[in-house]
Amino acid sequence: MKAFYKTSFPYQKDTLSLPVKNLDEALPFYQSVMGFHILSRRDAPTRSAVLGRDGIQMGLAGNGGDPSQDGCFFEVDDVEAAFAEMRSNGLEQEEAGYRADQYGGTSYRVFFIIAPDGLCYCLGERQA
């Protein structure tokens, strides 16, 4: 079963301009492990790509930013399905390390992953 990605929120400024050092090296992880597909690519003014999945979008850009200081939160319909899907797609992280977090007065069951490019992602399912 695949998780449905509902929304995305950036840690810093912009979900459509997450920094990567090498776009061509970063893209395969997002496509094969996270299940995104490329919506558009451009080479100028910076090499970048917009990726989509389930109606949400995210962007990767070789904009000189530090990937270890950025990432985003994805709200999903089933956090366990999201982790299981990524594991079956080749994610090398053994355990999800689920925990409960609060964001803006809403409770989520979450887990974190670090992409090979250094970006950090939190995936969470809203709790009643």
**Whole domain around residue 104: which residue ranges?**
5-126
Total domains, the chain: 1
**Within the chain, where are the H helices?**
23-28, 79-88
Q: Give residue 37's identity as a one-letter amino acid code.
A: H
Dihedrals phi, psi of 71, to nearest 5 degrees: 150, -160
CA–CA separation, 107 and 68 (whole Å): 25
CA–CA separation, 6 and 85 (whole Å): 16
pLDDT of residue 28: 97
CATH code, domain with 52 = 3.10.180.10
pTM: 0.93
pLDDT of residue 74: 96
- The tens-digit pLDDT sequence of the chain (128 residues) is 799 999 999 998 889 999 999 999 999 999 999 999 999 999 998 999 999 999 899 999 998 889 999 999 999 999 999 999 999 999 999 999 999 999 888 999 999 999 999 999 999 999 98
